[in-house]
Amino acid sequence: MIIKDAKFLMSNTKVELCPAPDKPEYAFIGRSNVGKSSLINMLTEQKGLAKTSASPGKTQLINHFLINEQWYLVDLPGYGYAKVSKDSRDSWRRMINYYMQHRENLTCVFVLIDSRHEPLKQDLEFLEYLGKVGVPFVIVFTKTDKQSGPKTDSTIAAYKRKLLETWEELPRIFLTSSASRHGRDEILAFIDEVNAQMQK
């Protein structure tokens, strides 16, 4: 897939105010500071499309981008940032729950996981949640350029072992680096493939 056009559409906290559900929608989510904005900018080849920040927990809204006038890319608030108040965490949980269960054109969720860390409870719990509500998802391991290949392989193997304790089948897995652009072609090809299947 060649991305010819990527533009910001809107930010909001209510699913009812999201763009009309008339195109496939791919949502990106992960723990705070996982490199989500950098990955979105790398995929779209637009440096400032998604706002990056040195302080975790910056994204607090549902941010919609229109890609090639054909599909929506959604930047969702990160989870697991300890300095956010309990009220903020509860509000985030309600918003995300509602979005995941009521956004009718949500096609796939890209769950971003930092490849430098062994399986974390919050990531595993979120994957379990998606399974329970029946939302299709894939896993994207980020920041693979920041460590050796064997270390990344070890992290992925540990996640697979954990998931296979409760899952019969593993989701699709992508390895990425925003710095080296590794994984870009694979993710865009996957989206292209899913979009083509939906048009049949």
CA–CA distance, 64 with 26 (Å, rounded to integer) = 10
Measure Cα distances from 132 to 21, 63, 128 in Å: 23, 24, 6
pTM of the model: 0.93
CA–CA distance, 16 with 14 (Å, rounded to integer) = 5
pLDDT digits (tens, 9 = 90+) for 29-77: 999 889 999 999 999 998 888 875 544 444 578 999 999 999 999 999 8
Which of 112, 195, 89 minimizes the C-alpha distance to 159?
112
CA–CA distance, 136 with 187 (Å, rounded to integer) = 15
- What percent of the chain has a predicted confidence (pLDDT) above 90? 78
CB atoms within 10 A of CB 30: 24
Q: Which domains does the chain possess? A: 6-199 (3.40.50.300)
**What residues contact residue 28 under an 8 Å CB cut-off, 6+ apart?**
36, 39, 40, 73, 74, 75, 76, 109, 110, 112, 140
